[in-house]
């Protein structure tokens, strides 16, 4: 797979700077419209953590196992290099309860990516989105984990205006208090905007 070295260098710098702003117990909302690189940035952020000795976990309701491996290659990384510290899960059963059951023994500092926020309660038998995010927040704080939630941005957001989206642009098909996320990162057209949501 051909990769753009300049873009990879920029991604490395963004992931490194973003990881430096995160602490165990954080919930980070990572939002952008499709095609802006939010999934790649989340994986690069996980790689940054793993290179510093942490574990990485990636839960996706969006991608297949083959897709995740391809995404790794698209950011210039070989998933085999992280076989002992990285796992991904593509189960249709992914929910807060499912995620917490699989993270119960993870060490402090583990970076957990959830792809993506709006799909957590797509099945009626799952708890409402607010309840799931609250449970994951409590769990992250209790276990000193860093949780990254990839998020969709509403179609009403004017991507062509040049500015990054914000909390007001997050697509919310179901009620959710966005103050549950204490940090956020929004992407648009190569720009990255970080904010603390205190």
Domains identified in the chain, total number = 1
DSSP per position, 61-127: SS--HHHHHHHHHHTT--GGGGTTTEEEE--TT-SHHHHHHHHTTPPTT-EEEEE-GGGTT-STTSP
Which of 106, 112, 148 is closest to 18 using CA atoms?
148
- Confidence category of residue 1, pLDDT binned at 50, 70, 90: very low
Task: Say yes or no to pLDDT of 161 above 80.
Answer: no
Per-residue confidence (pLDDT) for residue 22, from 0 to 100: 97
Task: Say yes or no to pLDDT of 160 above 90.
Answer: no
Domain CATH code at residue 137:
3.40.50.300
Buried residues in 53-87 as b, exposed as e (16+ CB within 10 A): ebbbbbbbbebeeeebeebbebbbbebeebeebbe
Q: How far is it, in rounded angstroms, from Cα 47 to Cα 44?
A: 5
User: What are the structure tokens assigned to 66, written together?
Assistant: 């083959």
Per-residue confidence (pLDDT) for residue 3, from 0 to 100: 53
pLDDT, one tens digit per residue, over 12-35 is 899 999 999 999 999 999 999 999
Tell me if 185 sits within 8 A of 192, measured CB to CB.
yes
SS3 content of the chain, % helix, strand, coil (to 5): 40, 20, 40
Which of 7, 1, 11 is closest to 39 using CA atoms?
11
pLDDT, one tens digit per residue, over 89-144 is 999 999 999 999 999 999 999 999 999 999 999 888 899 999 999 999 999 999 99
Domain that holds residue 57: 5-196
User: What are the structure tokens assigned to 42, written together?
Assistant: 């989340």
């Amino acid at each position: 797979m051909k990769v753009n070295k300049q873009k990879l260098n920029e991604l490395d710098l963004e992931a490194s700077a973003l990881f430096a702003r995160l602490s165990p117990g954080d919930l980070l909302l990572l939002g952008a419209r499709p095609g802006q690189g939010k999934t790649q940035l989340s994986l690069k952020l996980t790689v940054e953590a793993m290179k510093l000795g942490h574990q990485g976990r990636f839960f996706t309701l969006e991608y297949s196992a083959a897709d995740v491996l391809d995404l790794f290659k698209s950011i210039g990384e070989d998933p085999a290099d992280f076989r002992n510290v990285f796992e991904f899960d593509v189960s249709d059963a992914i929910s807060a309860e499912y995620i917490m059951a699989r993270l119960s023994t993870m060490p402090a500092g583990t970076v957990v990516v959830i792809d993506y926020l709006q799909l957590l309660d797509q099945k009626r038998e799952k708890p409402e989105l607010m309840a799931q995010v609250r449970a994951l927040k409590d769990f992250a704080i209790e276990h000193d984990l860093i949780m990254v939630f990839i998020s969709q941005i509403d179609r009403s957001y004017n991507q062509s205006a040049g500015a990054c989206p914000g909390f007001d642009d997050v697509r919310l098909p179901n009620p959710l208090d966005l103050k549950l996320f204490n940090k956020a990162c929004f992407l648009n057209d190569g720009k990255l905007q970080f904010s603390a949501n205190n």
